[in-house]
Copies of this chain bind each other. A is one copy, B any other.
Amino acid sequence: MSYDPSALALVPFVSVENMMRLVHSVGVERFITDLAATIEEDFRRWPLFDKTPRVASHSSEGVIELMPTSDGQAYGFKYVNGHPKNAKEGRQTVTAFGVMAEVDTGYPVLISEMTILTALRTAAMSALAAKHLGPANPRTMAIIGNGAQSEFQALGFKALCGITHLRLYDIDPSASARCARNLAQSGLSITLCNSAQDAVEGADILTTVTADKQNATILSDNMVGSGQHINAVGGDCPGKTELHSDILHRAEIFVEYTPQTRIEGEIQQLDPEHPVTELWQVIAGERAGRNSDRQVTLFDSVGFAVEDFSALRFVRSILPETGFYENLDLLADPDDPRDLFGMLTRAKTRAPEVLAAQ
């Protein structure tokens, strides 16, 4: 068959392999830093975004979600699943891919893997929030939960916030050891800790990023000292929280998008009227962030579609210079838009022998 797709038919696709090339060609820390700058730009123009709620399909084993948003010019969505039992079967708990399209034509312009990209954007988002909310000149971060996300968090906070020391704790010591091994060349000083209590000792920033799908108490109130910033990443769906509610009553709470965080975040434990501040308001200069060096700040992060949009937008922006993509023949593009059937027929007529050979 000699069907020869026109440029209009083709959609750039970033595979896992090309995403890894892209990240390495830029450098992990630089990638997270530039991605954070893109998120920061988009958060400054937050009111522009069409904030459709995510569409979730729940089953007994997990959830599949579509997370769409648009800034009026571009439209993006992410497909993402969450299946805790997958890890036992040698699969990822979370996999994701994303699509960006032009609002003006409805044509997709990018398809990208987003398993790796989501890890990078989550780290970029966390570090960006801490840059705006955390104590000045932080040096030490505790990471409680040393799974797939932990190294990305560490490098994001190193690059954006100047973290130099890590204190790692996981209920599985081999997870902490893996994280430390993976970061051996990063320039970070790393301490492996025997308990969460030990890990938070002397930390300026406390990152919780555990994976259990339940209400857990990873941090209790007595573990949190004045002036610390809590980066709560792991509590991100109904019934899954990491912090004791006493912490929530003491901390100044910042969220991405209040209606979603009330359902999915740590604050699902609180009264629906409990005051919170949306992070974009701080970034846009409309609301104060931290108001003293003794205040406890909490970024109750659940991940929002705008961040994925920023991530796709950033990847798209660096594709021309890097070339790490391939073109997918995804969109039927007949010469005459009304002649879809003719395109189909002509494809057959041109080279019947190819078909016969199949």
Chain A residues in the interface with B (C-beta under 8 A): 1, 3, 5, 8-9, 13, 15-17, 20-21, 23-25, 28, 50, 52, 55, 57, 59, 61-64, 66, 68, 70, 72, 75, 77, 79, 81-83, 86-87, 89-93, 95, 97, 99, 101, 103-108, 113, 115-116, 119, 147-152, 175, 178-179, 182, 322-324, 328-334, 336-345, 347-348, 354-355, 358
- Checking B5, B332, B347 against A24 with a beta-carbon cut-off of 8 angstroms, the contacting residue is B347
Interface contact A1-B28, CB-CB below 8 Å: no
A17, A61, A332, most chain B CB atoms within 10 A = A332
A175: chain B residues at CB < 8 Å are 338
Interface contact A355-B25, CB-CB below 8 Å: yes
Q: Closest CB-CB distance, A285 to chain B, in whole Å?
A: 29
Determine how many copies of this chain the complex contains.
2
Closest to A119 in B: B340
A9: chain B residues at CB < 8 Å are 16
Q: Closest CB-CB distance, A190 to chain B, in whole Å?
A: 14
- Checking B17, B86, B99 against A5 with a beta-carbon cut-off of 8 angstroms, the contacting residue is B17
A20, A108, A336, most chain B CB atoms within 10 A = A20
Interface contact A97-B337, CB-CB below 8 Å: no
CA distance A105 to B332 in the complex (A): 31
Interface contact A182-B341, CB-CB below 8 Å: yes
A329: chain B residues at CB < 8 Å are 15-17, 113
A55: chain B residues at CB < 8 Å are 52, 55, 66, 68
CA distance A265 to B169 in the complex (A): 57
A13: chain B residues at CB < 8 Å are 328
Q: Closest CB-CB distance, A66 to chain B, in whole Å?
A: 5
Interface contact B178-A330, CB-CB below 8 Å: no
A149: chain B residues at CB < 8 Å are 340
Interface contact A115-B340, CB-CB below 8 Å: yes
